Structure 1
Amino acid sequence: MAKVTLEQWRMLHAVVEHGGFAQAAEVLHKSQSTVSYAVNKLQQQLDVEILVIKGRKAELTEAGRVLIRRSQSLLKESEAIEKVADSLSQGWEGRITLGVDVIFPPKLLSTCLKRLSTECQQTHVELVETVLSGTTDMLATGQGDLVISGLVPQGFMGEPLMKVTFKAVAHKDHPLHQSGRPLSLDDLKQHRQIVIRDSGIKRQDAGWLEAVERWTVSHISTSVRMISEGLGFAWLPTSHIEKELESGLLKPLDLLPHGSRRHQIYLIYSDQDYAGPAVKALADIFKEVCAAPLDSQILTTDAV
């Protein structure tokens, strides 16, 4: 018995989806006789009645409904294979490694990756979230194709993307909010500071104010949770604590001369000359998204 082809299954699905041979033929840009022959041949090969004609409409038999349901996964897998082949023929990389410092706004990161998924669906992205020099270590060791970092290591060129705003914050009931006057750094040193650990080989203490007591965590989300429970104060990117600030759970500290600072974020290629089309497409997406007006980003982050 001759093997049933994918084209026959596609024609059968078109007949069922569009309600008849003539309609399917129009959608598939084939003659009605071609579609009719392919579907009839399919039924003969399987020795199963799949369709019955009622009036001018083709309807599935019980056996036909089973075969249509089972063949859907076959056609989807075939389409996926064709997309992979198309991506490879265009030179899209099968995999890229992206290093992103955790201070980068999570909403923007999701937006960028979502856009990439529509442009090169078959490229696998390995996202590595890092802190401080952990991102630049990826460049030094050749582990990242593209990184988003606040540090540009020697020997690399960084393209400014945006500036992230940090604020010194604490729980609304924290003693630091009870002084009734602007706070100095000496005031902060008397209270516990929550610091995020540098994930790099040579760890830095960026942001630490030499507080008497320091707790060190590995991720911003842990710091936010601890601060929200009144366990200390911290410098945090405002894009990560929007809800807490809006609800009043966290309040910015009244610092002298001010309780906020801005940090430049850069886009850095591991090797731009040898970057593939997917890496370049992702870099362009980051630049476009970060350059968008703030109201379209719906963030409390400051763009360049």
Structure 2
Amino acid sequence: MSRVTLAQWRMLAAVVDHGGFARAAQAIHKSPSTLNHAVHKLEEQLGVKVFEPEGRQVRLTEAGQLLLRRARQLLDEVDALEDVAAQLREGEEAEVVLCVDQIFPSSALAWAMEAFSASFPHVRLQLHETVLNGGVEMLVAGQADLLVSGFAAAGHLGEPLVMVRFIAVAHPDHPLHSLDRQLNLRDLKHYRQIVVRDSAQGKGRDAGWLEAEQRWTVSHISTSLDMIERNLGFAWLPETRIRRHLDDGRLLPLPLEAGGVREAPMLLIHQDLDRAGPATRAMASLLRESVSTCPAQSQLNHR
């Protein structure tokens, strides 16, 4: 049996976080003497000094720093456990926040959302259509319950969901097609490339940019597609978004020596699988099902 209570660990953390016994006491609505007694009792029970005097204040000893780090992990786990219990007590969540990278097949996403609505008509769904690191940033900040992204999120486990194929394309009348030969990187650098801006608020990525002399940066794949249809540049676009354009000749693949087709694996990542409520789990299941059930995506999967 543990001799130290969770309350003692919380009081120790409060003293450190608030810079002393008096401020901690005020913050957590305990008397300074109660905190002092709890910490001294903790030291006595463990046989380890966690504080040492520093002028009129106290500071953590090296042993205290180590113990506090481990205690914070323990307290985080306890908080997570209590959240799980609350989810079980309250039943389905009121809202699910879903971040999906724009390269995820739109038909599959629509199928999953429609099926979700039928099963959870009273649960609100917030959809954030992100680019590159934008969704990861939201997940790590605790602003999303579920993420579909081409990038892993530090501290979170993801599962493979679908492979998205990109094709380098341009309008049939684009000058690159008039060269009538295989193209290389030097050819592309002389023409305008349309790229989609990373939606992350922090440091973004320039994934896919070839350092072309001209570059237009837009915020959404649909805008990039519209620019390409207007013969304003070239881009790599998800095959699921341009398949009909390719089939009817509105866009043509660029005849590149290499790299004309790229593939990006998409991951499905939970904010916290243990804390996920029934609606969040259902949405994750529907997203898995969508990439094999949705007719348009299934057709591409078998190409």
Q: Which SS does the other structure have where 1:255 is aligned?
A: coil
Shift of 1:242: 2.2
8 Å contact from structure 2 (residues 94, 123) kept in 1:
yes
Q: Which SS does the other structure have where 1:272 is aligned?
A: coil
Q: Equivalents in 2 of 1:253, 1:272: separation in Å?
A: 42
Q: Which SS does the other structure have where 2:223 is aligned?
A: helix
- Measured at CA, do residues 165 and 143 of structure 1 come closer, stay the same or move farther in structure 2, by a change above 3 Å? same
Partner deviation per Cα, 1:58-104 (whole Å, 9 max, x = no partner): xxxxxxxxxxxxxxxxxxxxxxxxxxxxxx99811111100000000
Shift of 1:301: 4.0
Report what 1:34 is aligned to. Answer: none
Shift of 1:300: 5.8
Report what 1:189 is aligned to. Answer: 189
8 Å contact from structure 2 (residues 146, 268) kept in 1:
yes
Say if 2:290 is the partner of 1:289: yes
Which segments of 5 or more consecutive residues in structure 1 lack a partner in the other structure?
1-87
8 Å contact from structure 1 (residues 100, 127) kept in 2:
yes
Q: Equivalents in 1 of 2:301, 2:266: separation in Å?
A: 11
- Measured at CA, do residues 197 and 248 of structure 1 come closer, stay the same or move farther in structure 2, by a change above 3 Å? same
Q: Which SS does the other structure have where 2:235 is aligned?
A: strand
Q: Equivalents in 1 of 2:179, 2:298: separation in Å?
A: 31
Partner deviation per Cα, 1:274-298 (whole Å, 9 max, x = no partner): 0000000110111122234x8x345
Q: Equivalents in 1 of 2:210, 2:298: separation in Å?
A: 27
Report what 2:277 is aligned to. Answer: 276
8 Å contact from structure 2 (residues 291, 298) kept in 1:
no
Q: Equivalents in 2 of 1:126, 1:168: separation in Å?
A: 32
1:2-151 equivalent positions in 2, closer than 5 A: 91-151=91-151
Q: Give the residue type in structure 2 aligned to 1:93.
A: E
8 Å contact from structure 1 (residues 238, 300) kept in 2:
no
Let me know the Cα RMSD of the aligned residues. Answer: 1.9
Name the TM-score, length of structure 1 as normaliser. 0.68
Q: Give the residue type in structure 1 aligned to 2:238.
A: P
- Measured at CA, do residues 123 and 157 of structure 1 come closer, stay the same or move farther in structure 2, by a change above 3 Å? same
Q: Equivalents in 1 of 2:258, 2:160: separation in Å?
A: 27
Q: Equivalents in 2 of 1:225, 1:133: separation in Å?
A: 23
Shift of 1:174: 0.2
Q: Equivalents in 2 of 1:155, 1:93: separation in Å?
A: 24
- Measured at CA, do residues 299 and 290 of structure 1 come closer, stay the same or move farther in structure 2, by a change above 3 Å? closer
Name the TM-score, length of structure 2 as normaliser. 0.68
Partner deviation per Cα, 1:4-56 (whole Å, 9 max, x = no partner): xxxxxxxxxxxxxxxxxxxxxxxxxxxxxxxxxxxxxxxxxxxxxxxxxxxxx
Q: Equivalents in 1 of 2:115, 2:138: separation in Å?
A: 24
Shift of 1:257: 2.0
Which segments of 5 or more consecutive residues in structure 2 lack a partner in the other structure?
1-87
**Highest Rg: 1 or 2?**
1
Q: Which SS does the other structure have where 1:244 is aligned?
A: helix
- Measured at CA, do residues 282 and 243 of structure 1 come closer, stay the same or move farther in structure 2, by a change above 3 Å? same
Q: Percent identity?
A: 47
Report what 2:209 is aligned to. Answer: 208
8 Å contact from structure 1 (residues 163, 301) kept in 2:
no
Q: Equivalents in 2 of 1:270, 1:154: separation in Å?
A: 11
Q: Which SS does the other structure have where 1:100 is aligned?
A: strand
- Measured at CA, do residues 139 and 100 of structure 1 come closer, stay the same or move farther in structure 2, by a change above 3 Å? same
Partner deviation per Cα, 1:175-206 (whole Å, 9 max, x = no partner): 11111111001111110000000001211000
Shift of 1:302: 3.6
Report what 2:159 is aligned to. Answer: 159
Moved over 3 A (4+): 296-304
8 Å contact from structure 2 (residues 192, 215) kept in 1:
yes
Q: Equivalents in 2 of 1:147, 1:177: separation in Å?
A: 38
Q: Equivalents in 1 of 2:97, 2:188: separation in Å?
A: 39
Q: Equivalents in 2 of 1:141, 1:279: separation in Å?
A: 18
Q: Give the residue type in structure 2 aligned to 1:105.
A: P
Q: Which SS does the other structure have where 1:226 is aligned?
A: helix
Report what 1:175 is aligned to. Answer: 175
8 Å contact from structure 1 (residues 164, 301) kept in 2:
no
Q: Equivalents in 2 of 1:94, 1:202: separation in Å?
A: 32
Q: Equivalents in 2 of 1:190, 1:205: separation in Å?
A: 18
Q: Give the residue type in structure 1 aligned to 2:237.
A: L
Count of aligned residue pairs for this structure pair: 215
8 Å contact from structure 2 (residues 105, 297) kept in 1:
no
Q: Which SS does the other structure have where 2:237 is aligned?
A: strand
